[in-house]
Amino acid sequence: MTKIHTYIIFGLVTIWISNLCFAQKEEVIVEYNSPEQLTYGSTIDFLFFTENLKNNKRRSALKFMERHFTIECTNGYFYFEPHQSELRGHLVLAPYPEHYYDTKVQLSMHVAYNQGKNYVYDKTFNFEFELNGKQEIYLNYSGNIGEKGRMGSNEKLVGLVFNYGGNEGRNGNDGADGGDVIVKIAPFNTPQGDSIVIVEVFDKKDSILSIYKLPELYTAIILDVSGGKGGDGGAGQRGSNTLVQNKDGGNGGNGGNGGNGGTAKIYIHPSLDFLQSNLQINFAGGERGKGGDGGTAGRSGMRAKHEFEGNPGFSGKDGKDGALGQKPEISISPINLDWN
């Protein structure tokens, strides 16, 4: 009798495991490509896959999977790449550290979605990266890129009018101006007795924005206060294919103006004067946004019962390019700081 019960229990466990495997159809896999040197502003690229548990075939995860992820990040910034059919992401390491010892970046990804009846796939991925760079540091206070204008809409109405297009593309947004910053570079003795070099970044009101620790081997400090690129204009919609008068393609939207470059006042301690030759500053005005393409002319309207054939429309005009952003002045001066 005991053996029979054992066989029954074993059989139930086997069926339960089999049903679980059947319910879970795929495994989510996260991979990343990391540069050897990790420093402030370094970017790590993430790729996402799904693997079929039945045939072990792997394929790139599609962009819609993004909505199933919850991201938490410490001392870093993670974003999914837009305008892609496949799901890709990027992690920017310690872009704006609040303390010179903020050198560890922690990233947590949680994914949950239905894979089968009564089964929710639920998994958490944890990553940790530590800055180890002996190369340049990147201080990025550039302006954001302007958003691209939307394409002209293609509304549908009832009755004799159908596919009523020809609407104009929207204008691209202007690029944001680069940040106006004050940068101070000076030696500093830590409470542990270590001698390091600190780079502090302030806004124009002298409020602290970020504190960086310079690598032991100085190669370059890259400061970017360039203006953001203007957004491209949206394309005009194709002309309508009906007998109504508005059969022309829509005009393309105008490109956004480039943002102005930011101002930068840089102060370097006399003992670190050699760093001036290692300082690279990008303060260019943002590129102009490209005008949207005009919509193509509508074809002649389709002949149907109680309809006459329409004439083809004209192509819309291309939008105008935006203006270049302005380039400001940059100053570099010595400063005698004592931060200890």
Residues 42 and 135 sit within 8 Å (Cβ to Cβ): no
Closest CA to 151 of 236, 249, 231: 236
Listing from the earlier edge strand, what are the strands of the sheet with 279-282?
137-140, 221-224, 279-282
Please give the DSSP secondary-structure letter assigned to residue 100: T
Examine residue 199 and state whether it is found in any structural domain, yes or no.
Answer: yes
Task: Give a yes or no: residue 109 inside a domain.
Answer: yes
CATH number of the domain bearing residue 39:
2.60.40.1930
> pLDDT digits over 128-179, tens only?
999 987 677 888 888 888 787 777 665 544 444 444 444 677 777 888 888 8
In a domain, 22, yes or no: no
Q: Are residues 38 and 183 in the same domain?
A: no
Q: Which two tokens stand for residue 317?
A: 């005009």
Residue 295 pLDDT level (bands cut at 50, 70, 90): low
What are 259's strand-pairing partners?
Answer: none
DSSP states along 37-67? S--TT-EEEEEEEEEETTT--EEEPBGGGGG
Residue 292 and residue 337 in one domain: yes
Give the pLDDT confidence score for residue 204 in this predicted structure. 86
pLDDT at 335: 58
Residues 291 and 321 in one domain: yes
pLDDT score of 209 more than 90: yes
- Residue 248: the pLDDT is 61
- Point out which residues pair with 228 in neighbouring strands: none
Q: Which of 65, 100, 133 marks a domain boundary?
A: 133
For the cut 80, the answer to whether the pLDDT of residue 64 exceeds it is yes
Q: Which helix H or strand E contains 212, and what residues bound it?
A: strand 208-213
Q: At 297, list the tokens.
A: 């002319």
Specify if 32 maps to a domain.
yes
- Determine if the pTM surpasses 0.85: no
Give the chain's mean pLDDT: 76
Instruction: State which amino acid sits at residue 60.
Output: S
Q: Specify whether 185 is located in the same domain as 128.
A: no
100 domain-assigned: yes
Give the lowest-confidence range in 2-16, 205-219, 240-254.
2-16
List Cα–Cα distances, 304 to 46, 192, 276, in angstroms.
53, 86, 75
Quote the pLDDT of residue 79. 95
**Domain hosting residue 98, numbered range:** 27-133
Asked if 231 and 110 sit in the same domain, the reply is: no
CA quadruple 254, 260, 261, 262: dihedral positive or negative? negative
Distances (CA, A) of 217 to 42, 189, 213, 280: 17, 17, 12, 16
Residue 206 and residue 96 share a domain? no
Average pLDDT over residues 15-32: 69
Q: Is 263 helix (H, G, I), strand (E, B) or coil?
A: coil
Does 143 share its domain with 60? no
Residues sharing a CB contact under 8 Å with residue 84, sequence separation 6 or more, in sequence order = 63
* 319 and 240 assigned to the same domain: yes
- Give the end of a domain, one of 105, 133, 161: 133
Do 107 and 194 reside in the same domain of the chain?
Answer: no
One domain, residues 298 and 175: yes
Residues 281 and 210 occupy one common structural domain: yes
pLDDT of 302:
46
Shared domain check, 222 and 326: yes
d(CA 60, CA 83): 15
CA nearest neighbour of 314 among 296, 300, 301: 296
Whether 225 maps to a domain, the answer reads: yes
Residue 314, pLDDT score? 45
- Asked whether the beta carbons of 169 and 251 are under 8 A apart, the reply is yes
Domain count, the chain: 2
**CA 208, CA 221: separation in Å to the nearest integer?**
18
- Domain end, chosen from 102, 133, 164, is at 133
pLDDT bracket for residue 33 (50, 70, 90): very high
The answer as to whether 174 is a domain residue is yes
**Domain assignment present for 3:** no
